[in-house]
């Protein structure tokens, strides 16, 4: 058999439909007699709603209904949060109601105020123009540093200071002691700029209701259909799971923004039931900018205490995190549990304390965006390490070498909750330096200088935590549900296999990589394995895909189910081969009596399970060959590695060009190197986007979103990028049975800090020690000009 | 108004409103949903089709403007079930992930290779300015277009 199991660079099974225009996204689904929904959104960042008059809209041609907060009051509950955090004082976060349609007040531009449903999109749009809303505009605050100031506009009467939660992690006293004995303290103030995820497929929802059975079906572009069914159905709409099917068909990218449960999904479902007609909504891009959960948005002060030799003694971090106008599904968890505990990074820093003020503002809510908290932590730590190296006159590689966790120190307990299982940072560092030709950089810098350009190089040694999560730990940290994954393996009578996973693919390639995994474990050709996902009616309850968890948790669930299949197969084989079960070995797709050539193929065992021969012990062994497993991991997984970037800056224009990028990532066992490489490329480029061009900007006076289209929000294009050199290393994870760690976010976690370390290095000759993201031409040019005007220190 | 045009080698006669976009005609009337709309501002290129052999953003053309033209969409590229060499190259080089930008990328690439049969990496990257991908980081798309161009040259 040609090897198409674990480690094979198999081309994707799902490609053909996408390449021939046969992908089926929610945008593409049409139902007979469907209605079209349009949302009227607030043009103001902060205002009281004085009155809503929908009479003219209702009278408009083709309109089936107009709904406002008054119409849904008591019928649809607020949008729930799935992860409540607890403050340093032991009190739960402030969690004000999040009405599906703004009630009384709007809290950001784009807050939905009314829903118009009509028999054509044009009719719905026209009618939405006729809804009269009277607002009393209030002062707005969008910047997190302003929102916490005394006298700032208050979003909620009962949330003083706009403070959702004052959270902390680590040992403050121990950290203070570490700082007291420090030889040097490096300090840095930085901003992690707000981003818009911008999956290419905008969010969309199409709901239908079957009056004869009372069943609802919602097609929605989500990363987590089962979770959506509970949050939307049970919690918001009062529809029990058995009457509510959620289908996430092909989903055109997610990056975290579709692991959030949104008001529009509930409203469309509710309207379909009320009107007894299918209702479809597709977000326009401008609407996506105003309603998809955004990412990042931190303001941070950080200090690193070092001894005389450059060893890290302690780290102190104080962050203001902007979560926008409402608590989003996982919003408060991102800048806290997924941020503070990551500040140990790949280093042996013995004492760490991190405090985070989680703050409301008149902006779109923030939530998970690729990396979710971990890029922010990496950015703080890795910028600060560079600052410390600069101030101590230490080489940037050397300071990292002195502080990396040694390979033989694993498992390694950090001072901020996490216990890392495996890793070899010295090896990934060495490999990245070699691949990036770090040692010959001076020559390339000189060549750039000869052309009037400033060349800089930067590196990052990072770690991430992914594979969310052990349910017990997650629940201690505020998760309002278990976090595990499910798999169902159905061996069909002919021996081909259906694998139904609770994870969800929106580009990752699960249909291929999970088939490879089953092929490896059960010894059947990959072509005979079909992976099914994204439909609550077909898959067992699962948590979906986010946090690089599909392979580590979903894959482990599949491995567990495959183990059960093998166990049952051995029982069947033992009867058929008249041998004791203990003597049956399963190898290379066959059940064999150990030490003999007596053997049954996998297909023969499958056949026997469904067409039991006389020797099949039906009295003691059920027919059929189908197993379900739920897998709850013992811990997170911890990918890590080293990235290196080189940039070239034009000092006359401030234009920064990324000229080289190297990524060496230890992601544990590699299931499919081709798919891993694709994940790394995509992740790196999203991080490069943050570093060099992407910026979500609100006008501070009006609260209007200034970067509200692809014309204003600059995402990387093909000609902004060099060829990325990507390699993997492997210390298998000890936290799951297949040794995988996760690869979806490593790129985004490492690359912003890597690129910015290179930018600062390029500008070092001007005395520049930090540049905030994005390093736009204007910002870089200004940094150079400011330095030129500054008196020389010496 | 009634317009006649050729779509994927089939003559189509269709009644359209003056403000109907070509993308809407393809997606909503002809149910050729492989042509995607992702940005509304003509930035992303997911809606790229060939109009009389040249790539065009169908969200920025009126259906009426395509009257008399020959339009090829992603559905019309594979002949008799065999992938077009450019489609095959995207498959071989893992040039797609979520698939949403893919039809536009492939159509744009087909046009590039028609005007420049042997494009360099830099020429491919420059040509793709009008197509945004959020998943792949473009690297394997660039590789795929080079491979697709080579396959077409030797075809």
Peptide bond preceding A592 in cis form (omega within 30 of 0): no
The Cβ of residue A449 has, within 10 Å, a number of other Cβ atoms equal to: 12
Pick from A23, A710, A721: CB nearest B138: A721
Distance CA A81, CA A67 (A): 23
Pick from A16, A17, A200: CB nearest B44: A200
Q: For A504-555, where are the alpha helices, taking DSSP H only?
A: 510-522
A751, A661 contact by CB (below 8 A): yes
The answer to whether A252 contacts B74, with C-beta atoms less than 8 Å apart, is no
Distance CA A763, CA A765 (A): 5
B140, A681 contact by CB (below 8 A): yes
The answer to whether B75 contacts A21, with C-beta atoms less than 8 Å apart, is yes
Radius of gyration of chain B (CA): 15
pLDDT digits (tens, 9 = 90+) for A207-256: 999 999 999 999 999 999 999 999 999 999 999 999 999 999 999 999 99
- Provide, as residue numbers in chain A, all residues whose Cβ is less than 8 Å from the Cβ of B142: 718
pLDDT digits (tens, 9 = 90+) for A479-492: 988 899 999 999 99
Region A288-303: mean pLDDT is 98
**CA of A487, closest CA in chain B: separation in Å?**
22
Domain locations in chain B? 2-76, 85-154
Mean pLDDT rounded to a whole number for chain A: 96
- Provide, as residue numbers in chain A, all residues whose Cβ is less than 8 Å from the Cβ of B129: 717-719
Chain A residue with minimum CA distance to B97: A507
**CA of A678, closest CA in chain B: separation in Å?**
6
Question: Considering only residues 33 to 72 of chain B, which have any Cβ-Cβ distance to chain A shorter than 8 Å?
Answer: 33-41, 43-44, 46
Walk across the sheet containing A485-491 and list its strands: A529-532, A497-501, A485-491, A626-631
The answer to whether B90 contacts A15, with C-beta atoms less than 8 Å apart, is yes
Question: Considering only residues 125 to 154 of chain B, which have any Cβ-Cβ distance to chain A shorter than 8 Å?
Answer: 125-126, 128-129, 131-142
- The residue of B89, B98, B106, B128 whose CB has the most chain A CBs within 10 angstroms, and thus the best one to mutate to test that interface, is B98
Architecture of domain B85-154: Orthogonal Bundle (1.10)
- Provide, as residue numbers in chain B, all residues whose Cβ is less than 8 Å from the Cβ of A19: 74, 83, 87, 90-91, 96, 99, 102, 106
A517, A559 contact by CB (below 8 A): yes
The answer to whether B96 contacts A15, with C-beta atoms less than 8 Å apart, is yes
The answer to whether A12 contacts B91, with C-beta atoms less than 8 Å apart, is yes
- Provide, as residue numbers in chain A, all residues whose Cβ is less than 8 Å from the Cβ of B46: 200
The answer to whether A11 contacts B34, with C-beta atoms less than 8 Å apart, is no
pLDDT band at A303; cut points 50, 70, 90: very high
The answer to whether A674 contacts B94, with C-beta atoms less than 8 Å apart, is yes
Mean pLDDT rounded to a whole number for chain B: 97
- Provide, as residue numbers in chain A, all residues whose Cβ is less than 8 Å from the Cβ of B139: 681, 721, 723-724
Distance CA A498, CA A506 (A): 19
> What is the dihedral angle through the alpha carbons of A599, A602, A605, A610, rounded to the nearest 10 degrees?
-160
Tokens of A638: 């911890």
Predicted local confidence at residue A794, as pLDDT: 44
Q: For A523-650, where are the alpha helices, taking DSSP H only?
A: 556-576, 602-610
pLDDT digits (tens, 9 = 90+) for A563-614: 999 999 999 999 999 999 999 999 989 999 999 999 999 999 999 999 999 9
pLDDT digits (tens, 9 = 90+) for A165-216: 999 999 999 999 999 999 999 999 999 999 999 999 999 999 999 999 999 9
- Provide, as residue numbers in chain B, all residues whose Cβ is less than 8 Å from the Cβ of A30: 31
Distance CA A611, CA A550 (A): 35
Q: For A241-344, where are the alpha helices, taking DSSP H only?
A: 263-275, 285-291
CA distances from A99 to A69, A80, A701 (A): 8, 9, 26
The answer to whether A27 contacts B36, with C-beta atoms less than 8 Å apart, is yes
pLDDT band at A788; cut points 50, 70, 90: confident
- Provide, as residue numbers in chain B, all residues whose Cβ is less than 8 Å from the Cβ of A511: none
> β-strand A112-118 against A35-41: which pairing, if any?
antiparallel
pLDDT digits (tens, 9 = 90+) for A649-689: 999 999 999 999 999 999 999 999 999 999 999 999 999 99
Selected residue with higher pLDDT from A548 and A24: A24
- Provide, as residue numbers in chain A, all residues whose Cβ is less than 8 Å from the Cβ of B94: 11-12, 674-675, 677-678
Pick from B41, B96, B131: CB nearest A285: B41
Q: Which domains does chain A have, with CATH numbers?
A: 31-138+200-253+258-291 (3.90.1170.50), 298-468+635-789 (3.30.365.10), 484-631 (3.30.365.10)
- Provide, as residue numbers in chain A, all residues whose Cβ is less than 8 Å from the Cβ of B96: 15, 18-19
Chain A residue with minimum CA distance to B31: A28
- The residue of B42, B82, B99 whose CB has the most chain A CBs within 10 angstroms, and thus the best one to mutate to test that interface, is B99
Please report where in the chains the tokens 């087909």 appear, as a residue. B110
The answer to whether A200 contacts B33, with C-beta atoms less than 8 Å apart, is no
Distance CA A205, CA A268 (A): 7
For chain B, the farthest-separated pair of C-alpha atoms sits apart, in whole angstroms, at 44
> What is the dihedral angle through the alpha carbons of A47, A696, A198, A356, rounded to the nearest 10 degrees?
-80
Distance CA A367, CA A376 (A): 13
The answer to whether A681 contacts B140, with C-beta atoms less than 8 Å apart, is yes
- Provide, as residue numbers in chain A, all residues whose Cβ is less than 8 Å from the Cβ of B121: 723
Distance CA A644, CA A756 (A): 11
pLDDT more than 70, % of chain B: 100
Distance CA A128, CA A115 (A): 8
pLDDT band at A264; cut points 50, 70, 90: very high
pLDDT more than 70, % of chain A: 99
Pick from B90, B94, B98: CB nearest A251: B98
Region B107-111: mean pLDDT is 98
Peptide bond preceding A774 in cis form (omega within 30 of 0): yes
pLDDT band at A2; cut points 50, 70, 90: low
The answer to whether A253 contacts B83, with C-beta atoms less than 8 Å apart, is no
CA distances from B54 to B62, B69, B153 (A): 16, 11, 19
A638, A707 contact by CB (below 8 A): no
Using the Cβ of B78 and the Cβ atoms of chain A, whether some distance falls under 8 Å is answered with yes
Range of weakest confidence among A464-473, A480-489, A607-616, B29-38: A464-473
- Provide, as residue numbers in chain A, all residues whose Cβ is less than 8 Å from the Cβ of B50: none
Predicted local confidence at residue A791, as pLDDT: 61
pLDDT more than 90, % of chain A: 96
CATH class of B2-76: alpha beta
Range of weakest confidence among A398-407, A542-551, A774-783, B127-136: A542-551
Distance CA A45, CA A25 (A): 32
- Provide, as residue numbers in chain B, all residues whose Cβ is less than 8 Å from the Cβ of A678: 94, 97, 135-136, 140
pLDDT digits (tens, 9 = 90+) for A504-516: 999 999 999 999 9
Cα A661–Cα A666–Cα A669 angle in degrees, nearest 5: 130
Using CB atoms within 10 Å of the CB of residue A355, give its burial: 0 to 12 exposed, 13 to 18 middle, 19+ buried.
middle
Distance CA B2, CA A786 (A): 63
Q: Is the model's pLDDT at A754 over the cut of 90?
A: yes
Radius of gyration of chain A (CA): 28
């Amino acid at each position: 058999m040609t090897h198409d199991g674990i480690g094979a660079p198999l081309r994707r099974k799902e490609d053909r439909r996408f390449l021939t225009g046969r992908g089926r996204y929610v945008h593409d689904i049409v139902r007979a007699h469907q209605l079209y929904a349009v949302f009227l959104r607030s043009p103001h960042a902060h205002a009281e709603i004085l009155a809503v008059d929908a009479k003219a809209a209702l009278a408009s041609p083709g309109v089936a209904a107009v709904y406002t907060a008054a119409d849904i009051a008591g019928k649809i509950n607020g949008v729930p949060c799935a992860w409540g955090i607890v403050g340093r004082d032991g009190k739960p976060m402030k969690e004000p109601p999040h009405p599906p349609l703004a009630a009384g007040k709007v809290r950001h531009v784009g807050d939905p105020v009314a829903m118009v449903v009509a028999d054509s999109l044009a009719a719905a749009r026209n009618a939405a123009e006729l809804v009269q809303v009277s607002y009393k505009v209030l002062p707005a605050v969008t910047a997190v540093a302003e929102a916490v100031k005394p006298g700032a506009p208050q979003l909620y009467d009962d949330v003083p200071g706009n403070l959702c939660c004052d959270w902390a992690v680590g040992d403050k006293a121990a950290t203070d002691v570490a700082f007291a004995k420090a030889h040097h303290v490096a300090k840095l103030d930085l901003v992690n700029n707000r981003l818009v995820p911008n999956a290419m497929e905008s969010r969309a929802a199409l709901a239908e209701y079957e009056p004869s059975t009372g069943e609802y079906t919602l097609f929605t572009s989500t990363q987590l259909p089962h979770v959506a069914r509970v949050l939307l159905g049970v919690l918001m709409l009062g529809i029990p799971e058995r009457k509510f099917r959620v289908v996430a068909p092909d989903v055109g990218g997610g990056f975290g923004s579709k692991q959030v449960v949104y008001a529009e999904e509930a409203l469309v479902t509710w309207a379909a039931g009320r009107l007894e007609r299918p209702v479809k909504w597709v977000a326009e891009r401008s609407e996506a900018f105003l309603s998809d959960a955004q990412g990042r948005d931190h303001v941070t002060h950080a200090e690193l205490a070092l001894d005389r030799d450059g060893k890290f003694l302690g780290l102190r971090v104080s962050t203001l995190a902007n979560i926008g106008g409402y608590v989003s599904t996982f919003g408060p968890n991102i800048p806290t549990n997924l941020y503070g505990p990551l500040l140990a990074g790949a280093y042996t820093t013995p004492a760490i304390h991190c405090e985070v003020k989680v703050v409301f503002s008149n902006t779109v809510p923030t939530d998970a965006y690729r990396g979710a908290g971990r890029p922010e932590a990496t950015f703080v730590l890795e910028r600060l390490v560079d600052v410390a190296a600069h101030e101590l006159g230490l080489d940037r590689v050397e300071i990292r070498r002195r502080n990396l966790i040694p390979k033989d120190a694993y498992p390694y307990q950090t001072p901020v909750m996490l216990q890392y299982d495996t890793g070899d940072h010295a090896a990934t560092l060495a490999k990245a330096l070699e691949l990036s030709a770090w040692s010959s950089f001076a020559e390339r810098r000189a060549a750039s200088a000869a052309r009037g350009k400033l060349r800089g190089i930067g590196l990052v040694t990072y770690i991430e935590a992914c594979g969310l999560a052990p349910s017990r730990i997650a629940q201690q940290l505020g998760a309002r549900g278990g976090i595990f994954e499910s798999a169902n393996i159905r061996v069909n009578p002919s021996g081909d296999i259906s694998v139904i996973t609770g994870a969800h693919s929106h580009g990752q390639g699960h249909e291929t990589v999970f088939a490879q995994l089953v092929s490896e474990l059960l010894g059947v050709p990959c072509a005979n394995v079909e992976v099914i996902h994204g439909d609550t009616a077909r898959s067992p309850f699962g948590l979906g895909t986010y946090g690089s968890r599909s392979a580590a948790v979903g894959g482990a669930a599949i491995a567990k189910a495959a183990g059960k299949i093998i166990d049952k197969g051995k029982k069947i084989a033992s009867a058929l081969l008249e041998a004791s079960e203990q003597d049956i070995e399963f190898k290379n797709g066959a059940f064999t009596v150990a030490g003999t050539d007596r053997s049954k193929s996998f297909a023969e065992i499958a056949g026997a399970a469904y067409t039991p021969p006389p020797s099949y012990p039906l009295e003691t062994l059920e027919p059929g060959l189908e197993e379900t497993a739920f897998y709850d991991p013992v811990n997170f997984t911890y990918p890590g590695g080293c990235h290196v970037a080189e940039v070239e800056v034009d000092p006359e224009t401030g234009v920064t060009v990324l000229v080289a990028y190297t990524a060496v990532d230890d992601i544990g066992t590699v299931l499919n190197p081709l798919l891993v490489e694709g994940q790394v490329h995509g992740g790196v480029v999203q991080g490069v986007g943050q570093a060099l061009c992407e910026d979500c900007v609100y006008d501070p006076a009006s609260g209007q979103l200034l970067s509200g289209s692809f014309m204003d929000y600059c995402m990387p294009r093909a000609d902004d990028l060099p060829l990325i050199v990507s390699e993997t290393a492997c210390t298998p994870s000890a936290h799951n049975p297949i040794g995988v760690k996760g690869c979806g976010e490593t790129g985004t976690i490492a690359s912003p800090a890597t690129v910015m370390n290179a930018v600062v290095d390029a500008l070092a000759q001007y005395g520049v020690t930090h540049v905030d993201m994005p390093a736009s031409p204007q910002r870089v040019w200004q940094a150079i000009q400011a330095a030129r005007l500054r008196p020389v220190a010496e | 108004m009634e317009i006649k045009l050729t779509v994927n080698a089939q003559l189509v006669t269709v009644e359209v409103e003056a403000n109907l976009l070509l993308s809407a005609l393809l997606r909503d009337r002809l149910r050729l949903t492989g042509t995607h709309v992702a940005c509304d501002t003509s930035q992303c290129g997911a809606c790229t089709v060939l109009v009389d052999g040249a790539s065009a953003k169908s969200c920025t053309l009126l259906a009426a403007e395509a009257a008399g033209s020959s339009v090829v969409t992603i559905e019309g590229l594979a002949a008799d079930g065999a992938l077009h060499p450019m489609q095959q190259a995207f498959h071989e080089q893992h040039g797609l992930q979520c698939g949403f930008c893919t039809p536009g990328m492939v159509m744009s690439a087909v046009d590039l290779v028609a005007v420049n049969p042997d494009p360099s990496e830099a020429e491919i990257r420059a040509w793709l300015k009008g197509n945004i991908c959020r998943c792949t980081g473009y690297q394997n798309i660039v590789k795929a277009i080079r491979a697709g161009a080579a396959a077409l040259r030797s075809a």
